[in-house]
Amino acid sequence: MMNAMPLFRAILLCSLLSGAAVSAWAQADVETATIEVRPEPGEGIWSLLRRSGVEPTTASIAEFKTLNAGKMRNGSKLRRDVAYRVPSRSLYVPLFGSKYANVPLKGEQLKGHVFYIVGGHGGPDPGTLGKYDGKMIPEDEIAYDTSLRLARELMADGATVYVIVQDPNDGIRDDRYLPVDHDEVYYGNKTIVLNQVSRLRTRAKIINDLYGKHRKTAKSQQVISLHVDSYGMKVEPQVDVHFIVGSRSGKSLAQAIRSTVEEKYRYYQPNRGYEGEIKTRNLMILRETKPTAILIELGNIRHKGDQHRLIKPSNRQTLAEWIKEGLVRQATGKGA
């Protein structure tokens, strides 16, 4: 999936409160289409579906057989000289922008799990401004682009995801430099005000109201808040994962993500070493939200090494995929 490892400081701050533990701004209806795929040598229905991005469930296998009635030997064995129709489902989410609005559904391993993705700052507050090659790097834009990528990855695995901070004009962007703007709003088209306490309380209320809506039916509910650190200047940037923990559910979530990042770091940079700490911190987004919550620092906006990495869209995508993988581990009981 990835051929090089982006070196980030990813600081994860976990909720001080215990909590229970979903799709976006306006998750659209599922659209169904078909694609044609020829089987590879020795491939059966299960592996063909998986290679095509379709989870081989009882329903998808039955649908595949209906679509391809008469094409298989004995009703189930694939022929290499035949192109088979594969059911392909996708979501259409305009918030992600025209290039990424179509979200192919890969599986259902996160079905029933609810995620609240919160890009840090936004609206009148761009967060900390870094500067690289004479160009400004706003914290909120880096966090927002990564949050959309994370939301899209979670949706593709069947999760319900609410993007709490939204920009009606900026979808997922494959640009190195993301200009500052101030038109972000909260979920539900609510204005983001300048006063920090009021702003944070509004976020918490939106999340808590949605939490109540899903409380009886969700398998889990979790808040993932993304920021870019602005303090300190480490000599060598790497994926240092710090967790702010005050609950068993928060610690478990933190450890699942930390283990994932550690494994990626070990694989892509085996000689660098990796250290991650678990800490606590009293932040409103962690303290006042009812679901289990973590805050992830994607890197240091003032560190040249981190700046160089964070401006690359491929690195923002990779980090989103790593975080998603950790969340999948937690949801499926495979966390550390």
Domain containing residue 224:
11-28+97-331
Of residues 53 and 103, more confidence is placed in 103
pTM: 0.82
Same-domain check for residues 76 and 136: no
* Strands across the sheet containing 190-191: 165-166, 185-186, 190-191
pLDDT of 18 above 60? no
Span 63-72, pLDDT tens digits: 999 999 999 9
- The torsion region of residue 123 among left (phi > 0), alpha (psi -120 to 50) and beta comes to left
pLDDT band, residue 6 (cuts 50/70/90):
very low
CATH code assigned at 111: 3.40.630.40
Same-domain check for residues 248 and 108: yes
pLDDT of 234 above 70? no
Would you say residue 4 lies in a domain?
no
Please give the Cα distance from 133 to 146 (Å, whole number).
21
Same-domain check for residues 108 and 144: yes
Residue tagged 């400004």 (tokens): 136
Count Cβ neighbours within 10 Å for each residue of 220-236 and write b for 16 or more, e otherwise: bbbbbbbbbbeeeeeee
Tell me the average pLDDT of the chain: 84
Would you say residue 5 lies in a domain?
no
pLDDT of 273 above 60? yes
Same-domain check for residues 259 and 304: yes
Same-domain check for residues 138 and 163: yes
